[in-house]
Structure 1
Amino acid sequence: MYAERASRLTGAVVWTTVPDGTGTGRVLPDGCMDLLWNEGRLLVAGPDTRAYLTGGADGRWAGVRFFPGTAPALLGVPAHALRDRRADLADLWPAREVRRLAARIDAAPDPARALEDLALSRAADAGPPDPLTHRIVTALAEGRPVARTADELGLGARALHRRSLAAFGYGPKTLARVLRLRRALALARTGVPLAETAARTGYADQAHLTRDVRALTGLPPTELLR
């Protein structure tokens, strides 16, 4: 069973799940990175460019899903270093410190809250997030073209690309595709027909929507929405 709630860390989400072992899960790209706990292990989920399949994930899981672009400052590693990866936190931080933190979370009455406390502590040490990162996400999430976004932010195309790689793990065009996918799926789940969804979320037509959804998730929209 999966459950989530808003985090005390601005823009983040805390989630928990216990896989039932009956099939493969599918985590869709969302521009985010997650700090994960799984029965004594601490991991980091990097930014995905395609659906991540979760078959065989045993035991309890908890995670903090950070707002896009905010995790690298907390974790101390650029996002592109973890693109399409699930990495042990001990690969990024001193192993002794990670073991201590994992033991503390294991012993907590609520591991998800203890994991959130760890994220909050790291955020306090890292300081406030770069406001430009939030502006990039906001502009692209609203469907503005990448070139227009760069102009509005006073950045050249190369500077925007460099910032995006470090903050999101991929360039602004890929981030825009991922955020458009999220907008389209959210709209389609309300019952809006796919042709209208495509028109309202910036796709050329329904066929374009179908191709992009399949490329990013591995499934056509009709099957994914089921």
Structure 2
Amino acid sequence: MHRRRRTALLFTAALVAAAPLLTACGNDAHPGAAAVVGGQRITVAQLEERVDQIREAQRAAVPDEAQYEQAVARTGSLTRDTLNGMVLDRVLERAAEDAGVTVSDREVQQLRFDLQEQAGGAEALEAAWLQQYGIPPQRLDDNLRLQVTAQKLAESLGTDTSRPEFWQALSEAGKELDVDLNPRYGSWDPEKSSRVDATTPWLRDVTGAGAPRTA
């Protein structure tokens, strides 16, 4: 399970690093939708709900007002980063489906058990996932399912989540899904499997230096 733990952390870190901290365009060409992925909408309301869950978890974890304000300042691009993750989740699911990869509840719970042992308990794991990856406690199991999915997809490809072969599979899935972001949040680059700024798509993400997809 040590390799799975390491790979899970790498993929979660990639979700965070994937979203460039850029200014989004204000042209709302998708009323009510933050993104359309495979013909299915991710609504602005769904995105805002996810962001609110993270902020509420941050508030509960950091009751001191000054510390909370610091946490908010460190995650000023939270909405765009969260949308990036929500889209990438669906891209990963399509890539896994294309590869015939399935994940059982038992596999998810086994990963959680292993990570809890490593972190020092359930609360410590939840706190770490919130602080490092912006995953609130109520979405931890969903995220761990994605970690297992990513690991099994990589194994089916004969690689791991840090290698270009894995990210190429996500790129192909993203093209199949024809991801379309509301220009407010930028645009989707299927080659990078990441959100980019809509007005300057050539601008590279200097905040994600060392991210697995560029390895």
Normalising by structure 2, what TM-score?
Answer: 0.26
Give 1 or 2: higher helix fraction: 2
Give 1 or 2: higher strand fraction: 1
Normalising by structure 1, what TM-score?
Answer: 0.25
Instruction: Give 1 or 2 for the bigger CA radius of gyration.
Output: 1
